[in-house]
Amino acid sequence: MVAAPARIIFSFSSVEPLLIAASPAAARNSRQGRHRGQFIRPLAASNTLLGNDFDLQEGLTDVQKILHQRQKSNREMMVTIDNLKRLCVDHYFEEEIESAMSACMNLVHSNDLFDATLAFRLLREAGYDVSAKDDVLWRFTDNSGEFKLPLSKDIRGLLSLHDMSHMNIGGEALLDKAKEFSSKHLASAIRYLEPSLAEYVRQSLDHPYHLSVMPYKARHHLTYLQSLPTRDTAVEKLAIAEFQLNKLLHQKEMQEIKRWWMDLGLAQEIPVVRDQVLKWYMWSMTALQGYSFSRYRVEMTKIISLVYVVDDIFDLVGTLEELSLFTEAVKMWNTAAADSLPSYMRSCYKALYTITNEIADMAEKEHGLNPANNLRKAWTVLFDGFMVEAKWLANHQVPTAEDYLRNGVVTSGVPLTFVHIFIMLGCDQNSEALIDHMPSVISCPAKILRLWDDMGSAEDESQEGFDGSYKNFYLMENPRCSPTDAEAHMRSLIAREWEELNRECLCTRTFSSNFTQVCLNIARMVSVMYSYNKEQRLLVLEDYARMLIL
């Protein structure tokens, strides 16, 4: 999660306190999911917040009836499922969606581009073993392996093909061709489309569905649905209610985190550290979506904030000797270990120690295992990574690009954060293995973050410290390459990491769906966090914050 200080600062003035909180007990109960018609979100409390305009139970029942309509065609059923997923309300209807997947199985071999590609995407998202080439795309190519030109007029089919093309798990060259073909013809068609469809196409090209933050895409998808002549008002009303409830919950969580951060006082004691509480919370808000993870979002934000603080201490404040003492104190892991530290480090250490142990206690109460040793070990690995960078700088060493990236995966803070999430989700039995042998489901988002950050945002943000960048080291090793060449190389590496992440999350599925969803969500959030425009603003992040929090 670590990046250079951003210039854009969000205002908290529009964040209103909530009247009701999601208690840890309620969250624990709701994490069991839905059984026999019981929905995840507490309905009575939700209806109180929504007022008299919408009854959540009735809204859920109305959508259930739609899913149970037997006269629906396979295409209609698929489109309904897709809309529920795009609007982020599919979690209410997992059983119904699973039972309706036969519609996708029936259409994946269709000769209609829209039907076949949508069926493929829904099946792959659900973990079904489907081949992009053998099951779907060969029907739409000519003898030379190119996509048939008449397909360029099928806008709906092209949009679905474009969505499908980003689910490459590696070795699927035809999906690369699908991306190129659909992108080219959708871009050229925009000028001829009616305004709402043109905007939807533009959004799809700028923010591909599978690579994008789902709640952000959901608002744009709802706007598009509301522009159509034929509308599914029951689904739309449920989506609007869900947006409202989530926004209220996010505001309440944001207020709690803001109070914690101000009481902690690290920003006042160490003025050079970043003070970006809203930005940190948005990592957690995106990673762990839904009512049941409310407490985890708050705790995850605390961990992320401390990762940023520690990064700034290593980059901007501490001497090599002080940083070495700081690292040794973390390895000792007791309050007495902080006595020899400078006061600003002592405050940071105590905050880190306290928050980590609180999470360990929470995990033990909820899941029966105490993960304190594994959490300490995860912090030790992070500090060791920061020390490697500090020694490179102090000794004027220039690492290879590969060595820098390998260590940068650790110092991104992603592995440490994921270990905490893994433990909060109740998976502590295997958390030590995650630390000792980092799996691709963790390393891929970390590499994606490090490479995105190093493509220029750190320089754009005028970071005062120096910890190098992959781009700079790559250019040193390849003097004939231009900065543009280096960025192209980095984008190819990012694409490769996405393929590996897709393979793990969509096919291999070594870890729980909750955890792999977190990993996908973090990878999706990276481009939102690091796509600065020429004015050094994060326009998508600002828009996202207004939609979901402010």
pLDDT score for 20 = 28
- 501-512 tens-digit pLDDT: 999 999 988 899
The number of residues making up the chain comes to 550
> How far, rounded to the nearest angstrom, does the alpha carbon of residue 28 sit from its chain's CA centroid?
23
Cα distances (angstroms) measured from residue 450 to each of 404, 409, 411: 10, 7, 9
pLDDT score for 468 = 77
Angstrom distance (rounded) from CA 448 to CA 470? 12
Domains of the chain: 56-238 (1.50.10.130), 265-549 (1.10.600.10)
pLDDT score for 32 = 38
pLDDT score for 203 = 94
pLDDT score for 42 = 58
Reduce the DSSP state of residue 211 to 3 states and report it. helix
Q: Which of 44, 70, 79, 241 is nearest to 160 (CA)?
A: 79
pLDDT score for 223 = 93
Angstrom distance (rounded) from CA 549 to CA 346? 33
Backbone angles phi, psi at 147, to 5 degrees: -70, 140
The C-alpha torsion from 532 through 536 and 540 to 542, rounded to 10°, is 150
- 333-351 tens-digit pLDDT: 998 988 999 999 999 999 9
Backbone angles phi, psi at 124, to 5 degrees: -65, -40
Q: Which of 517, 376, 360 is nearest to 428 (CA)?
A: 360
Which portions of the chain are predicted below pLDDT 50? Answer: 3-39, 458-465
Cα distances (angstroms) measured from residue 8 to each of 268, 420, 530, 539: 19, 28, 12, 10
Burial (CB < 10 A; 0-12, 13-18, 19+), residue 321, is exposed
pLDDT score for 51 = 60
pLDDT score for 256 = 97
pLDDT score for 188 = 96
Angstrom distance (rounded) from CA 408 to CA 389? 9
Angstrom distance (rounded) from CA 394 to CA 401? 18
Q: Which residue type occupies 97?
A: I
In contact, 419 and 434? CB cutoff 8 Å: yes
pLDDT score for 10 = 31
Angstrom distance (rounded) from CA 322 to CA 411? 18
Angstrom distance (rounded) from CA 297 to CA 447? 23
Reduce the DSSP state of residue 140 to 3 states and report it. helix
In contact, 1 and 412? CB cutoff 8 Å: yes
Q: Which of 133, 112, 288 is nearest to 213 (CA)?
A: 288
In contact, 540 and 531? CB cutoff 8 Å: yes
Beta strands in 260-311, from DSSP E residues, in sequence order:
none
Cα distances (angstroms) measured from residue 537 to each of 217, 274, 455, 519, 532: 20, 16, 16, 26, 5
In contact, 399 and 473? CB cutoff 8 Å: yes
Angstrom distance (rounded) from CA 117 to CA 113? 6
In contact, 384 and 256? CB cutoff 8 Å: no
Structure tokens belonging to residue 133: 């080439």
Angstrom distance (rounded) from CA 2 to CA 305? 9
Please give the angle made by the CA atoms of 123, 127 and 131, to the nearest 5 degrees. 60
Backbone angles phi, psi at 141, to 5 degrees: -115, 155
pLDDT score for 52 = 57
Structure tokens belonging to residue 427: 């998976």
pLDDT score for 72 = 79
Structure tokens belonging to residue 374: 């594994």
Q: Which of 83, 131, 141 is nearest to 111 (CA)?
A: 141
